[in-house]
Amino acid sequence: MAVALVTGAGSGIGAAVARCLARRGDRVACVDVDGDRAAEVAGGIEGSIALAADVTDEAQCENMVAATLDRFGDLDTAVACAGIEKAGDSLVFDIDTFRRVVDVNLTGSFLTARESARAMTANGHGGTIVLIGSINSKVVLPGTAAYASSKGGVLLLGQALAVDFARHGIRVNTVGPGVTDTPMSADSLAHPERRARLMSRTPLDRPAHPDEIAEVVAFLTSDASSFMTGAFLPVDGGWLAT
């Protein structure tokens, strides 16, 4: 049985990915900075484990991979879903908030991928890594300087890691969700005008269900995508096509 590690697994897309990979038979380490939420999700997935870790912390990332290897003996797949979104006018945007967004979304993705790749390399059989970008890896909305620059960074991080890790048999791809119905987007979707503005940019005229993102992650971490690496796959209801 394959082993997967999913960060941000306590909520939204990460929780959906953890459940989806478990449904296909993976043993899953559910990682989140909120250990209680990770435990709640893992509690609903037979054979999975919950780990508390902040992906911005190098030692905690080392430990989450070590704990996964301790429990399951191997690591085949890593999915970096942990992320935060903070919006605001760039003229007055708080610098600590800017740094935190970049730290979680970009540096956290790097640490998750690097620690996972070290384990995959040590085990000698390679593996698959998926980063979670966004439509904001490619386009911006007003007030998204921190989030969009972090997600733009994730896009190129995925390409750079794909090049660096290819010789180790590790594929790295990035998924770019559009508006997805999770706690992160709940406020926007609950606000009629903001929802209408977002849906006016989404040809399919609805938010994604987190499972619709998870299914694409499952594809990118399966042999069905064996010749794909360094790709950016939008899953956005058509936003980037407009």
Q: Are 235 and 133 in contact (CB under 8 A)?
A: no
Rg of the chain in Å (alpha carbons): 17
Q: Are 109 and 157 in contact (CB under 8 A)?
A: yes
Q: Give me the least distance between CB of 56 and ligand NAD, in Å please.
A: 5
Q: Give me the least distance between CB of 90 and ligand NAD, in Å please.
A: 19
Question: Nearer to ligand NAD by C-beta: 3 or 131?
Answer: 131
Question: Nearer to ligand NAD by C-beta: 55 or 233?
Answer: 55
Q: Report which residue type is found at 62.
A: E
- Catalytic site positions: 147
Query: What DSSP line would sit under 65-111, residue for residue?
Result: HHHHHHHHS---EEEE---------GGG--HHHHHHHHIIIIIHHHH
What are the structure tokens assigned to 51, written together? 């780990």
Question: Nearer to ligand NAD by C-beta: 12 or 153?
Answer: 12
Q: Give me the least distance between CB of 71 and ligand NAD, in Å please.
A: 18
Question: Nearer to ligand NAD by C-beta: 123 or 212?
Answer: 212
Query: From CA 27, how far away is CA 34, in angstroms rounded?
Result: 20
Q: Give me the least distance between CB of 37 and ligand NAD, in Å please.
A: 5
Q: Which residue has the tokens 């953890």?
A: 18
Residues that bind ligand NAD (CB under 6 A): 7-8, 10-14, 32-34, 37, 54-56, 81-85, 104-105, 108, 132, 134, 177, 179-180, 182-185
Q: Which residue has the tokens 């972090």?
A: 150
